[in-house]
Structures are given as structure tokens and as C-alpha cells.
Amino acid sequence: MAQSNVPVSAAADESLSEEFAVPSHVEEVKKQMAEFAEHHAAANRRVVLITSGGTKVPLESRTVRFLDNFSSGRRGASSAEYFLDSGYAVIFLHRHRSLYPYTRLYTGVNLLDSLKFESGEEEPCRVLVDQKELPNILKVLKRYQAVKEAGLLLPVEFNTLSEYLHLLKAAAQALSSIGSKAMFYLAAAVSDFYIPASEMPEHKIQSSNGPLQITMKMVPKMLRPLVKDWAPQAFVISFKLETDPSILLERARRALDTYSHQAVVANVLDTRRGYVVIVTKNSQHELILTDEEVQKEVEIEDKIVSKLSVAHTQFMSQ
């Protein structure tokens, strides 16, 4: 593969360390991720790094207010399960409290409504699960425990935008040693804008000062250094979200042209659970859930992951 001597992305890389505080645990997490990746690659397993959830951007350094976005983390959490079912080991880089593999299936449930204790005088008595309240709990629990015991899922949390950016860089560097066995599946909805720490008021913004005007800077694009410098042999998938379907494919193609990675999963906010397009340099492939599939509770992530894992196999054999 042709590589330039000077990293194309040095500017993005520099602004990352200058403008975003480096989290204190980043080196420790990087080591964990590198060991995880090497262990699984040695067992001939592929490793996918999934990013998941939204980001919060603070408006004050002693933060009272922040800008957030809609992402629930469902795409990332359900995809993690399908990647595990397809034989991948998964690093799950997710926003704190966004949806999590397996537990996501029970987010609408009040735990206390699904438990009861065995009647009787004896203490301690046993607590029982009402399986009607937690559908498929036996199957899900078995799968969750098997994944955990086999050490196939490495969860890594982020809270702030700075943490996300530094942990993604650390992950990319940690996975570079396993070359094309690594996949990046960048499903997180990361803010494009932020207020630099040096320009942020320390204290709560006062409404008595009248209407608020803020200027935000552009968040550096991580895809460029990831593809060019940090993990140049990896199979890289980004996601493109729009609300206007008429510009979706053009934007997805533009991202591919700009970053030269392997594929973009394009989706529209309102239809994202049932329709996506996988765009590559030479193709575009629609994935749609039929009404019958929706009835049977098939998830579109099942289709996305099978399509991409086949494409990853082809990529590795090139």
C-alpha cells in the first residue's frame, strides 16, 4: 500500500492534543485494547471496534448546560451482538449510559416489576424472575454469560467529547498491530461543533445578560488520521446521517472520496431502523426490512453486520 512520508493528517492530530484534554486513563485503556486485540487475533479471530451513542458538548466549564444529540446507542449495541454471533471479538466504545449489548433488550422494563420472592417464612428467601416481564431472558442471559466468560466483549466508556476523541485514537493505534483483521464500525453520533476550553465561560451563563449567542469551532475529523496514519490496514466503516433523503447518497460518496475508507452506511433519521444504504467506491447496496421481517422482530443491524463481515473477508484476502 502506498504511504506518504509526512502524515497527511498532522494538523488534525496536533489540534487534538492541543485543544482536547487527554484523559488520565487513556494509556491504560490503550494497553488493554492492544492486549485484547492481539490475544484474539492470535486465536484467528477478527476484532471490531464499535463506537456508539451521542456526545455532550458543554457550554460552561462548570457545566450546567450542554448541547446533546438524539442518538440512543441502539445501532451500536445491537450491532455488537450480531458481530459477536458472527465470530468477532468486540471493543465497544460507548457513551456512558447509552444502550448496552443484551441489557438494551430490557430498557423499557421496571426491574422490580419482573421480580418476586418465594412466599414462605424462611429468610433469606429466593427471588424469582417473571419470564413474561423479561421476554427471552433465559436465552439472552446464557448468551451474555458465554460472551463474558470467553472474554469476547471489551466495554470502554466515554463521557465527554475529549474522552471520545482520545480513546478512538488510542483504539486505532492499539488495533494497528493486527492489520486487516481489525474493523472500525463508527456508529456514534459525534458532535461536529464544540466550544474550546479557552473560550468557555467558567460559571453558569446568566440569562439576565439577555439572548445568548455562541460561536462553536469544528471538531477535528478523526477519520482522516485514522485511515491514513493510525490504522492504515484496517477495514473502516463510517456512518452518514441526514434528515433530507435527497442529499444522503451524495454526502456518503463525498465522505468516501475525502477519506478513502472502505464503506459508508448511509441512513436518514426517521427511517434508520428499517432502511440503510451501504455505499462503497464501486457500489451501493440497499438494506430494507420488509413488513414481515418487522413483524418477526428482525433487526436491520443483523443485515448490516452480515453484509459487512462478508466484505471484510474479501478485504482481508486482497
Interacting residues toward ligand 9Z3 by CB under 6 A:
71-75, 186-187, 189-190, 238-241, 267, 272
Residue 224 CB, shortest distance to ligand 9Z3, in Å, is 11
Identify which of residues 156 and 187 has a Cβ nearer to ligand 9Z3 in the complex. Answer: 187
Half-sphere exposure at residue 158, Cβ-oriented, CA atoms within 13 angstroms = 31
Are 58 and 200 a contacting pair, CB within 8 Å?
Answer: yes
Residue 17 CB, shortest distance to ligand 9Z3, in Å, is 21
Identify which of residues 23 and 73 has a Cβ nearer to ligand 9Z3 in the complex. Answer: 73
Identify which of residues 25 and 221 has a Cβ nearer to ligand 9Z3 in the complex. Answer: 221
In order, the DSSP letters of 59-125 are: SSSS-S-EE-----SHHHHHHHHHHHHTT-EEEEEEETTS--TTGGGGTTS-GGGGEEEPPSS-SSP
Residue 146 CB, shortest distance to ligand 9Z3, in Å, is 25
Residue 51 CB, shortest distance to ligand 9Z3, in Å, is 9
How far apart are alpha carbons 121 and 113 in whole angstroms? 22
Residue 300 CB, shortest distance to ligand 9Z3, in Å, is 10
Total residue count of the chain as it appears in this document: 318
Are 115 and 126 a contacting pair, CB within 8 Å?
Answer: no
Identify which of residues 34 and 99 has a Cβ nearer to ligand 9Z3 in the complex. Answer: 99
Contacts of 263 (CB under 8 A, 6+ apart): 237, 238, 256, 278, 279, 280, 308, 311
Identify which of residues 229 and 299 has a Cβ nearer to ligand 9Z3 in the complex. Answer: 299
φ/ψ of residue 97, rounded to 5? 70, 5
